[in-house]
Amino acid sequence: MRPNTLNPLFAPITSLPGIGQRLAKAVEKLAGPLVVDLLWHLPVGLIDRRHQPHISTAADGAIVTLVVRVERHLKGHNPRAPYKVRCSDATGFMDLVFFNVRGDYLEKALPVGAMRAISGRVERYDGMLNMVHPDHMVPAEELAQIQIVEPVYPMTAGLPPKVLRKAIEAAIGKAPDLAEWLDPALLAQRRWPAWHAALTDVHHPADEGALSAFAPARQRLAYDELLSNQLALAIVRARNKRKAGRASKGDGSLRRKIVAALPYQLTGSQKSALDEILADMAAPTRMLRLLQGDVGSGKTVVALLAMANAIEAGGQAALLAPTDILARQHFATLEPLCAKAGIDLALLTGRDKGKAREAILARLGTGDLKLIVGTHALVQEGVDFADLRLAIVDEQHRFGVKQRQALADKGAGVDLLVMTATPIPRTLMLTAYGDIDVSKLTEKPAGRQPIDTRTLPLERLHDVAEGLRRAIATGARIYWICPLVDESEQVDLAAATERHRMLAQMFGARVGLVHGRQKAAERDAAMAAFAKGDLDILVATTVIEVGVNVPEATIMVIEHAERFGLAQLHQLRGRVGRGSAKSSCLLLYQAPLGETAKARLQILRETEDGFRIAEEDLRLRGGGEVLGTRQSGLPEFRVADLAAHGELLAMARDDAQLMVDRDLALKTPRGEALRLMLYLFHQDEAIKLLASG
């Protein structure tokens, strides 16, 4: 249970002054639904209102705070003319200028004869000083309240900055003083403030330097965030380690048959990855290993051989895929090989219901069925194994820790292999897995040719489509990708449908369409037709992003390439260049491109090395967006910026490991404080694990 001291922070934002139901929506979109979320909504700029000249000495364009006397109201002759309020000080006159004034609020706020402190940007016209819509107008005796350095927050439409600032102030006010959870030696060495002081600091930047990721208060809060991430992962890992693993060491009989049935030789890196996996499986501890290999590097066959080992050892194996399409594709790839080896294999997705599903579950339960491929349907309750030894999760970044764990929990001491084609930079990997063993497939299978990648403005779209004519005549198969931006799936779908119509008009019936809103059967049919060669062009939203394998496809067209993450573009591009024929990728972009966008697309033209692409993307864009997909399953940080705080992450990992070694139950005073920190950062799952022992 969350300690009561934190309750005010975990109240809804509507508990803050000025935040009603209507504004709560805007605040939630910006920061989150709870008071605590506002603490991490940090300023991105500041306005210095400390400058207090006189009317005669105020410089054109400056932000100033002035104390003035209200002289008279000069209302416009028509509603569109500006409403001016003439004011004075000992040195001269100025006008406060307002547009679209309704009612009499100005008469109330600025009564003639009153002394007012005002703050805002001034301009000088024909010698007359003007201030258009002052940011602040308060009674003169409240001058001190506005003569400050004001933080500027990321904003959203419909939320007045003042309201947000006030709400954030109130949120800070609700933050209790908590016992220090960081090592005092670290605080001293880094000159970091205590938690509450750091919060106050980051929300009251004194100068530009205080906004930097390297300002002590920001570093402190970033470290807290990274530490809670690392500590939660370390706790999960420690718990898993304490559960004994199984030693699964097969006799190689099934593996030999599979390898003999392959139409190719395994690459060197496939062999060494497999050796690493087999060694882990043979050990009596639980395997937690990541198999990382660029798109097309041949992870599937490595997975199959590892699963064969589990079966040889007398157990069962499961392969979890993120989408229906992928699960089906894996099934189709594995089935002929399994048949050669005499391994019984089944497919289970959300579409399997009733008798068929019952039959599969029954055979899993008796251990009769050795190998199963499926989607989330595998993780559900009621899916029980006789002896699950190895769980493999494909395209891991699509799944959360919870699903990964749920599958592993379906057996005793299950070995876990996660596979990803997304080249996750080292720093991001740490945040997602903590310390995990990694096998990399660095070689591409023999015979692959480089993909010719070009960038073109969208205006050339019709030329591009025309150009496909020749390619189709020579038997090429083409993917045409339309972006999916999740804010407006409707609109995007319309774009894909429209593109499909256009291309069908040009090329006739041999143009297909797949998207996420389609009935699964319809989508499968289109994919299958494309794979078989019954379609020349497949128009798709990003549903085809992961894993789809049609070696005959050689052209990839991507519309609005600038809207995609680099890693995502790399993945999409990886759908072609899988056979021995020469492939190309056309990135259509909306001109004009900004500098960063240009640099990003340039990287894709320069290299096909997924790791380099990911590192460059991290450098250009910062951590959170590298995967280009919001449902990435990787943690998102509010304060920490992985591009700037990589060093802190490494420290946090060591710190977390030390803590778990010394005090896994978090019972010491520092442990207790850290437990509170975990609550603060929503790491409740890890705490639950602590409770369950």
| Residue 270, contacted partner among ligand ADP, Mg ion, none, CB below 5-8 A by kind | ligand ADP
The residue among 67 and 438 lying less far from ligand ADP, judged by its C-beta, is 438
* Least spacing, CB of residue 443 vs ligand ADP, in Å: 8
- 176 sits near ligand ADP (criterion: CB under 6 A): no
* Least spacing, CB of residue 669 vs ligand ADP, in Å: 48
- 252 sits near ligand ADP (criterion: CB under 6 A): no
Give the one residue of 205, 245, 293, 434 binding ligand ADP; rule: CB under 6 A.
293
Alpha carbon separation from 123 to 60, 106, 110, 136 (Å, rounded): 5, 21, 20, 16
* Least spacing, CB of residue 332 vs ligand ADP, in Å: 11
Residue 199, Cα to own-chain centre: how many angstroms? 25
8-16, 260-268, 599-607, 645-653 -> range binding ligand ADP (CB under 6 A): 260-268
The residue among 113 and 263 lying less far from ligand ADP, judged by its C-beta, is 263
**Left (φ > 0), alpha (ψ -120 to 50) or beta: where does 392 sit?**
beta
73-81, 304-312, 410-418, 541-549 -> range binding Mg ion (CB under 5 A): 541-549
The residue among 271 and 605 lying less far from ligand ADP, judged by its C-beta, is 271
| Residue 445, contacted partner among ligand ADP, Mg ion, none, CB below 5-8 A by kind | ligand ADP
Round to whole Å and give the CA distance between 114 and 136.
Answer: 15
| Residue 301, contacted partner among Mg ion, ligand ADP, none, CB below 5-8 A by kind | ligand ADP
Give the one residue of 248, 267, 269, 683 binding ligand ADP; rule: CB under 6 A.
267
Residue 78, Cα to own-chain centre: how many angstroms? 51
- 322 sits near Mg ion (criterion: CB under 5 A): no
- DSSP class of 578: -
Give the one residue of 295, 361, 393, 666 binding ligand ADP; rule: CB under 6 A.
295
- DSSP class of 359: H
| Residue 350, contacted partner among Mg ion, ligand ADP, none, CB below 5-8 A by kind | none
Round to whole Å and give the CA distance between 495 and 492.
Answer: 5
183-191, 258-266, 348-356, 668-676 -> range binding ligand ADP (CB under 6 A): 258-266
Contact flags string 344-383 toward ligand ADP, x per CB under 6 A: ----------------------------------------
| Residue 549, contacted partner among Mg ion, ligand ADP, none, CB below 5-8 A by kind | ligand ADP
52-60, 100-108, 297-305, 654-662 -> range binding ligand ADP (CB under 6 A): 297-305
Q: Can you give 136-183 as a three-state secondary structure string? A: EEEEHHHHHHHCCEEEECCCCCCCCHHHHHHHHHHHHHHCCCCCCCCC
Q: Is 644:624 a contact under the CB 8 Å cutoff? A: no
Helices 610-621 and 595-606 sit at what angle, rounded to 10 degrees? 170
Of 52, 78, 77, nearest in space to 63 by CA: 52
- 218 sits near ligand ADP (criterion: CB under 6 A): no
* Least spacing, CB of residue 420 vs Mg ion, in Å: 9
* Least spacing, CB of residue 158 vs ligand ADP, in Å: 44
Round to whole Å and give the CA distance between 500 and 494.
Answer: 10
* Least spacing, CB of residue 563 vs ligand ADP, in Å: 23
- 568 sits near ligand ADP (criterion: CB under 6 A): no
- DSSP class of 584: E
Give the one residue of 230, 240, 292, 300 binding ligand ADP; rule: CB under 6 A.
300
- 298 sits near Mg ion (criterion: CB under 5 A): no
The residue among 71 and 335 lying less far from ligand ADP, judged by its C-beta, is 335
Give the one residue of 547, 610, 623, 624 binding Mg ion; rule: CB under 5 A.
547
- Sign of the Cα torsion 25, 30, 32, 34 reads negative
The residue among 512 and 547 lying less far from Mg ion, judged by its C-beta, is 547
Tokens of 134: 């002052």
Round to whole Å and give the CA distance between 151 and 210.
Answer: 11
| Residue 287, contacted partner among Mg ion, ligand ADP, none, CB below 5-8 A by kind | none
Q: What are phi and psi for residue 210, nearest 5 degrees?
A: -70, -15
The residue among 27 and 295 lying less far from ligand ADP, judged by its C-beta, is 295
Instruction: Residue 345: count other Cβ atoms within 10 Å of its Cβ.
Output: 21
Of 248, 261, 289, 285, nearest in space to 441 by CA: 289
> Would you give the end-to-end CA distance of the chain in angstroms?
15
- Please provide the DSSP assignment of 322-348 as one string: SSHHHHHHHHHHHHHHHHHHT--EEEE
Helix (H, G, I), strand (E, B) or coil at 218: helix
Of 453, 460, 480, 483, nearest in space to 568 by CA: 483
b/e 262-286 (16+ beta carbons within 10 angstroms → b): eeeebbebbebbbebbbebbbeeeb
* Least spacing, CB of residue 379 vs ligand ADP, in Å: 21
- 296 sits near ligand ADP (criterion: CB under 6 A): yes
Of 476, 449, 478, 477, nearest in space to 559 by CA: 478
- 421 sits near ligand ADP (criterion: CB under 6 A): yes
Interacting positions 428-457 with ligand ADP (CB under 6 A): 445-446
* Least spacing, CB of residue 374 vs Mg ion, in Å: 15
* Least spacing, CB of residue 482 vs ligand ADP, in Å: 22
Q: Is 340:314 a contact under the CB 8 Å cutoff? A: no
Q: Is 258:308 a contact under the CB 8 Å cutoff? A: yes
Residue 72, Cα to own-chain centre: how many angstroms? 55
Instruction: Residue 212: count other Cβ atoms within 10 Å of its Cβ.
Output: 12
Contact flags string 575-614 toward ligand ADP, x per CB under 6 A: ---x------------------------------------
Tokens of 584: 């190309």
The residue among 151 and 374 lying less far from ligand ADP, judged by its C-beta, is 374
- 301 sits near ligand ADP (criterion: CB under 6 A): yes
Give the one residue of 259, 266, 401, 472 binding ligand ADP; rule: CB under 6 A.
266
- 326 sits near ligand ADP (criterion: CB under 6 A): no
| Residue 352 identity | D
Q: Checking DSSP bridges between strand 316-320 and strand 371-374, what pairing results, if any?
A: parallel
Of all residues in the shown chain, the one whose CB is closest to Mg ion is: 547
Specify which residues 137 forms β-bridges with. 118
Specify which residues 138 forms β-bridges with. 117
Interacting positions 535-554 with ligand ADP (CB under 6 A): 547, 549, 551
| Residue 267, contacted partner among ligand ADP, Mg ion, none, CB below 5-8 A by kind | ligand ADP
The residue among 196 and 440 lying less far from ligand ADP, judged by its C-beta, is 440
Q: Which helix (H) or strand (E) holds 278?
A: helix 268-282
| Residue 635, contacted partner among Mg ion, ligand ADP, none, CB below 5-8 A by kind | none
Residues that bind Mg ion (CB under 5 A): 547
Residues that bind ligand ADP (CB under 6 A): 264-267, 270, 293, 295-301, 421, 445-446, 547, 549, 551, 578
